[in-house]
Chain A
Amino acid sequence: MKANKKDTFITTINTHKKIIYKIVNSYCPNREERKDLEQEIIIQLWNSFNKYDSNYKYSTWMYRIALNVAISFYRKEKKLSTKNDFYNESSIFSMEEEKSEEETELDYHLKLLQEFINNLNELNKALMLLYLEEKQYDEIAEILGITKTNVATKISRLKLKLKKEFQKNIK
Chain B
Amino acid sequence: MEALELKKIMEAYDNKLDKTLSLNLSSMEELQFEKSQRNTKKILKYRIFEVVIFSLLVIFLGWHIANNWNQTHLAISGIIVHVFVLVALVGSIGQIVLLRQIDFSKPIVEIRKKIELVNSHGLLFIKLIFLSAPVWWSYAIVAVDLFLGVDLYVHLEPDFVLRYLVVNFLLIIPLVWFFNKLSYKNLHIKWVRKTIGLFTGTKTMNALEFLNDIEEFEN
Contact = CB atoms under 8 A, between A and B. Distances in A.
A88 interface: no
B12 A64 contact: no
Contacts of A93: 16
| Chain B at the A interface: SS class | helix
A119 B10 CA distance: 18
B213 A121 contact: yes
Contact of B23 (A13, A48, A166): A13
Interface string B1-21: 100001111101110111111
B108 A123 contact: yes
Given A6-B28, A46-B28, A123-B112, A38 B107 contact: no
B177 interface: no
Interface string A44-74: 1011100111000000010011011101100
A75 B109 CA distance: 15
Interface residues of B, number: 43
A53 B9 CA distance: 33
A17 B9 contact: no
A52 B105 CA distance: 8
| Chain A at the B interface: SS class | helix
A53 B218 CA distance: 25
Interface in B1-60: 1, 6-10, 12-14, 16-21, 23, 25-26, 28, 31-33, 36-37
19 contacts: A13-B23, A42-B25, A44-B104, A46-B31, A48-B105, A64-B108, A68-B108, A92-B20, A93-B16, A109-B12, A110-B16, A121-B213, A122-B112, A123-B109, A134-B7, A143-B108, A145-B110, A146-B218, A162-B6
Given A13-B25, A145-B110, 18 more contacts: A18-B21, A44-B36, A44-B104, A64-B104, A65-B104, A68-B111, A75-B206, A92-B13, A92-B17, A92-B20, A109-B9, A123-B112, A132-B10, A143-B107, A145-B106, A146-B109, A146-B218, A159-B6
